[in-house]
């Protein structure tokens, strides 16, 4: 849009720090949709600044002169959230001594920010869906339909698609909320902004308490930038303030940084197996057993096919009196008739020479070019690497379920967390 503000102006106005492309992309989308009344879904891990983005959208919207309220859906008890949002009538439940207006009634014409929307109870989701579709709602304990005109900005740090799959979130509400989706990047995806944010927090603290601002050595900065920051910007700010208070020096090196915050030295490696979770080890053992049984079945099938070809094609094999060197027991071949997808073949008697029947058509004969064919038969050994077999099995399961990890994990008999770790381990 022609009159939309520039990103740098918005960043300065709302004190947004950073230059990463992902941050700029999210901010540009927020600026562009702010002037509309479309429902917005902000997603991203906890601590990335979803509430700041909601303020940006509200402040640049046509409703900026009307009311704005932020509600944490996860902080309101399930028994009272309907009353908080939609109000209640006197006597609707024990303790309802008077009529009460809900947020959708008091903020009519304004904007409501529903944080942690994934924690909203299912019955409340049904009420919210009706508000989004028709603008209608009813107070708890009332049969009178009321109208409201509010804009919804929702936020979540949960995977709503996964919650829909587990029937913990309404699918119709998810698609209604997801009119415009803005993914706010985690701090680990904005490595170029980590040191900039650290310097900003350090200078703000020094200015507030009139102390000297702290700095980082090159190695300490490298540690800071390679940490995964599960708590995102909030965690970085807390660490900066701790160092500003507790450090005796204004220049922090890597040793002092590790001493203050030992986990800063952790890397984004595959997750450790929880030794307390015995089911994980059991499931992985079951994968190996399954692989070994499948290998045995494949070998048995190969034996049956070889002897079936010899019999059905009336092959004459000259000078093969060392058949036992192939490690094939012909008497055991039929015992695998019941194996899955394995063709059944009759027993081929153990003999050193197969006679072709007398016929006008000359049979196909395999001639040995050396004194003994068996001596020059090379049996190619199958790859018995457990890691390769595990990788192939996981790849097949993912292909069968078109990348749906949960269903693939069920098929493999492992947890979805274990499957995710294996996918990263094998770069699938």
Query: Does the pLDDT of residue 354 top 70, yes or no?
Result: no
pLDDT for 414 equals 82
CATH code, 76: 3.40.50.300
Percent of the chain with pLDDT over 90: 54
Distance CA 189, CA 196 (A): 14
When divided into structural domains, the chain yields a total of 4
Query: Does the pLDDT of residue 20 top 90, yes or no?
Result: yes
Query: Does the pLDDT of residue 311 top 80, yes or no?
Result: no
Q: In this structure, are 165 and 295 located in the same domain?
A: no
The 10 Å CB-count burial string (b at 16+, else e) for 174-192 is bebbeebebebbbbbbbee
Query: Does the pLDDT of residue 305 top 60, yes or no?
Result: yes
pLDDT for 293 equals 72
Distance CA 266, CA 230 (A): 12
pLDDT for 395 equals 84
Q: Which of 105-119, 261-275, 339-353 has the highest mean pLDDT?
A: 105-119
pTM: 0.61
Cα 57 to its chain centre, rounded Å, is 28
pLDDT for 1 equals 53
CATH code, 395: 1.10.10
Query: Does the pLDDT of residue 282 top 60, yes or no?
Result: no
Whether residue 428 contacts residue 394, with contact meaning beta carbons closer than 8 Å, is answered with yes
**Position 291 confidence tier, pLDDT thresholds 50, 70, 90:** confident
Q: Across all residues in the chain, what is the average pLDDT?
A: 81
**Position 384 confidence tier, pLDDT thresholds 50, 70, 90:** low
CA dist 378 to 170, 171, 310, 373, Å?
Answer: 61, 58, 18, 10
Q: In this structure, are 207 and 252 located in the same domain?
A: yes
Output 263 or 389, whichever has higher pLDDT.
263
Query: Does the pLDDT of residue 298 top 50, yes or no?
Result: yes
Query: Does the pLDDT of residue 371 top 60, yes or no?
Result: no
**Position 368 confidence tier, pLDDT thresholds 50, 70, 90:** very low
Domain contains 325: yes
Query: Does the pLDDT of residue 355 top 80, yes or no?
Result: no
Q: Which of 15-19, 56-60, 338-342 comes out lowest in average pLDDT?
A: 338-342
**Domain that includes residue 361, residue range:** 280-376
Q: In this structure, are 197 and 181 located in the same domain?
A: no
Beta strands in 14-91 (DSSP E): 40-43, 68-72
Domain contains 274: no
The residue out of 265, 296, 317 marking a domain boundary is: 265
Domain contains 237: yes
Q: Please count the helices (runs of H) and the strands (runs of E) in the chain.
A: 16, 11
Output 376 or 172, whichever has higher pLDDT.
172
Measure the CA dihedral 62/67/73/76, to 10°.
-170
Whether residue 191 contacts residue 225, with contact meaning beta carbons closer than 8 Å, is answered with yes
Whether residue 180 contacts residue 61, with contact meaning beta carbons closer than 8 Å, is answered with no
């Amino acid at each position: 849009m022609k009159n939309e503000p520039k990103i740098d102006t918005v960043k300065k106005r709302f004190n947004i720090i950073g230059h990463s492309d992902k941050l700029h992309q999210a901010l540009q989308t927020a600026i562009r949709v702010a002037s509309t009344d479309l429902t917005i879904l902000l997603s991203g891990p906890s601590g990335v600044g979803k509430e700041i983005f909601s303020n940006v959208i509200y402040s640049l919207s046509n409703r900026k002169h009307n009311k704005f309220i932020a509600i944490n859906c996860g902080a309101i008890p399930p028994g009272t959230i309907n009353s908080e949002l939609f109000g209640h009538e006197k006597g609707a439940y024990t303790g309802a001594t008077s009529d009460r207006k809900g947020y959708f009634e008091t903020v009519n014409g304004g904007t409501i920010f529903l944080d942690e929307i994934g924690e909203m109870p299912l019955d409340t989701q049904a009420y919210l869906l009706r508000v989004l579709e028709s603008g209608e709602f009813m107070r708890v304990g009332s049969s009178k339909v009321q109208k409201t005109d509010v804009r919804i900005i929702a936020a979540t740090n949960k995977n709503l698609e996964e919650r829909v799959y587990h029937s913990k979130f309404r699918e119709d509400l998810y698609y209604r909320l997801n009119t415009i989706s803005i993914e706010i990047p985690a701090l680990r995806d904005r490595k170029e902004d980590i040191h900039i944010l650290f310097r900003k927090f350090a200078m703000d603290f020094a200015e507030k308490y009139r102390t000297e601002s702290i700095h980082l050595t090159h190695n300490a900065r490298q540690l800071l930038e390679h940490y995964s920051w599960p708590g995102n910007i909030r965690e970085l700010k807390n660490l900066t303030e701790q160092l500003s208070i507790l450090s005796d020096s204004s220049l922090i090196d890597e040793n002092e940084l590790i001493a203050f915050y030992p986990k800063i030295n952790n890397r984004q490696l595959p997750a450790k197996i929880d030794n307390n979770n015995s089911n994980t080890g059991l499931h992985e053992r079951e994968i190996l057993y399954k692989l070994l049984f499948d290998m045995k079945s494949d070998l048995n099938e190969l034996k049956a096919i070889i002897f079936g070809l010899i019999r059905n094609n009336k092959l004459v094999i000259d000078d093969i009196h060392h058949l036992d060197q192939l490690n094939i027991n012909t008497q055991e071949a039929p015992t695998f008739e019941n194996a899955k997808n394995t063709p059944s073949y009759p027993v081929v008697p153990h003999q050193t020479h197969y006679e072709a029947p007398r016929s006008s058509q000359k049979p196909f004969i395999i001639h040995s070019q050396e004194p003994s064919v068996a001596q020059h038969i090379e049996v190619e050994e199958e790859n018995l690497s457990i890691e390769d077999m595990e990788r192939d099995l996981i790849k097949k399961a993912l292909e069968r379920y078109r990348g749906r990890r949960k269903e693939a994990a069920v098929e493999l008999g492992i947890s979805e967390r274990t499957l995710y770790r294996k996918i990263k381990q094998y770069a699938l």
